[in-house]
Structure 1
Amino acid sequence: MMNAPELVAIDAASASLFMRWPDGAVSELPFALLRSACMCAQCRKRKLDRETPLSSPDVKLVDARPSGYGLQLVFDDGHDRGIFPWIYLERLARDQQTAADHQESRTL
């Protein structure tokens, strides 16, 4: 079975999805990042066609429904087709942390 988080929480104040993994790691993924990272057929087609994503920077996540191997995310723009596998969410969180670490090292 996939490495599912022990806790998933939507934090409207920070506009982020929080996840606590079994190893104790905590991930924070901004709603806008999640919306733009959707891999449903409609969103993948837009990316392949080099069209702009159908999301805005202030998009809100209104629900995160467990769906076996991941989460079905429901956004306030009506988009609810994407199921985000746990492994994909882990990778997004790792990539975002790496980017944040690089940004921090440049400002030191």
Structure 2
Amino acid sequence: MIPAPVSIGNSRERQQLRLTWQDGSEQHIAHVLLREQCPCSQCRAFRLRGMKPVVASSLQLVEVRPQGYGLQLMFSDGHQRGIYPWAYLAGLAGD
């Protein structure tokens, strides 16, 4: 189990979520990538059918809610169903 980051930041200007992990490493994840890789059941089913959600390049992460084992993310397109576990976030490619 991956422990929670020591710091979480959201830059709307850069359109990135920033996670600082306990080992001091930083990870920057684009808002668009987070939305495309949403782990909710609806989005996963969509990807399993070989489809990719259409996400505007202007999409922003508007709210970050810690949920103990991960983050619930709210996006400017209204999507807020996915909870991103720490291990899932750590596995996403950063910029």
RCO (CA 8 Å, sep 6+): is it higher in 1 or 2?
Answer: 2
Same fold, TM exceeding 0.5? yes
Aligned identity (percent) is 41
TM-score (norm 1): 0.81
Structure 1, gaps ≥5 residues long: 98-108
- For residues 23 and 52 of structure 2, what CA distance do their matches in structure 1 show? 36
* Runs of 4+ residues over 6 Å off in structure 1: none
Q: Partner residue of 2:94?
A: 96
- For residues 7 and 73 of structure 2, what CA distance do their matches in structure 1 show? 15
- For residues 89 and 38 of structure 2, what CA distance do their matches in structure 1 show? 11
Matched residue SS, 1:44: helix
Matched residue SS, 1:96: coil
- Please give the residue correspondences for 1:62-73 in structure 2 after superposition, counting only pairs within 5 Å: 62-73=62-73
From the CA coordinates, give the structure whose radius of gyration is larger.
1
Structure 2, gaps ≥5 residues long: none
- For residues 57 and 83 of structure 1, what CA distance do their matches in structure 2 show? 22
Structure holding more helix per residue: 1
- For residues 77 and 7 of structure 2, what CA distance do their matches in structure 1 show? 25
TM-superposition CA deviations, 1:32-58 (whole Å, max 9, x none): 010001110110111122233042222
Question: How many residue pairs are counted as aligned between the two chains?
Answer: 95
